Amino acid sequence: MNQPSAEQIKQELIEEHRTINVDFDDWAEPVYEWFEEYLATRGIKWSKEGGTTQSRDMTWSGFCSQGDGFGFGGEIVNKDFKKCVTEHKYPMLYKLIDDGGFVKMYWHGDNRNYRNSINVEAESFGQIHGEDHPLKDIWDVELDKEMERLEYDLDEDLESMCKMMYKKLEEEYDNLTSDEAIWESIVANDLNSITNDERETAWVSA
C-alpha cells in the first residue's frame, strides 16, 4: 500500500478540522466590534439584552444553508440624530434638540421589518416652551411630519446596514474556513504532528 503524500495528509487534516476557526461563538467578535464602531459614526447605539449577562441584541444565521440575514436592535437619542440626518432635511428635529427637547427612536433585533417596529419617544414644542407659545402648534405639526418621514428613511438605512453586516460576516466566515486559515490553525495547535506511518497504521487497523 502506497503511503499518502504529505499534500494528501495536509488536505485530509484540513477537511478534518474544517470548522476549527468557527467552532466558538466569538469567531465573529472582530466583525461585531467593527459594526459597533460604524454604528457610532451614524449616531446609533447597539442595544444590549440579557440582564446581568448582557449581549448585543441581534439575530442572524448562516452560511452553509440559505441563511437568515442579519437584524439588530438599536437606538438614537437626542444629539446623536445629528450624526444620522441633516439639518437641511430635518430642521424641526434639529430645533427640538437645540431647544433642549428629548427625542428617541429605538427598535429590536427580533424584527427585521423595521418600519413596523421602530418606536418613537419625543417631547413636543408645547412641552418645552409652554402651551401658550404662539408657534408651538406650527412647530409640532412640522415635527410630526419629519418624524414620520424619518421612520421611512431610517428603515431604508437599517436595511442597507444589515445587508452590509451580513456580507461582512459571510466574508469573515469564508476567510476563517479557507484552506490557508485552517492550515495555519492546525500548525499553531500542533495538530499536524501525526506522521505518515501513524496515519497509514490508523487506516490499516480501521
The pLDDT, as a whole number, for residue 110 is 74
The pLDDT, as a whole number, for residue 152 is 93
Give the number of domains in the chain: 1
As to burial, measured by CB atoms within 10 angstroms (0-12 exposed, 13-18 middle, 19+ buried), residue 47 is middle
In a domain? residue 142 = yes
The pLDDT, as a whole number, for residue 116 is 64
In a domain? residue 86 = yes
DSSP code of residue 82:
G
In a domain? residue 20 = no
The pLDDT, as a whole number, for residue 6 is 80
The pLDDT, as a whole number, for residue 182 is 93
Which residues of the chain, if any, have pLDDT below 50? 195-196, 201-206
The pLDDT, as a whole number, for residue 195 is 47
The pLDDT, as a whole number, for residue 28 is 94
The pLDDT, as a whole number, for residue 204 is 39
In a domain? residue 15 = no
**Antiparallel, parallel or unpaired: β 119-122 and 103-107:** antiparallel
The pLDDT, as a whole number, for residue 64 is 60
In a domain? residue 81 = yes
The pLDDT, as a whole number, for residue 102 is 97
In a domain? residue 139 = yes
What CA–CA distance (Å, rounded) separates 24 from 125? 50
In a domain? residue 68 = yes
The pLDDT, as a whole number, for residue 114 is 67
In a domain? residue 187 = no
Structural domain that includes position 74? 42-161
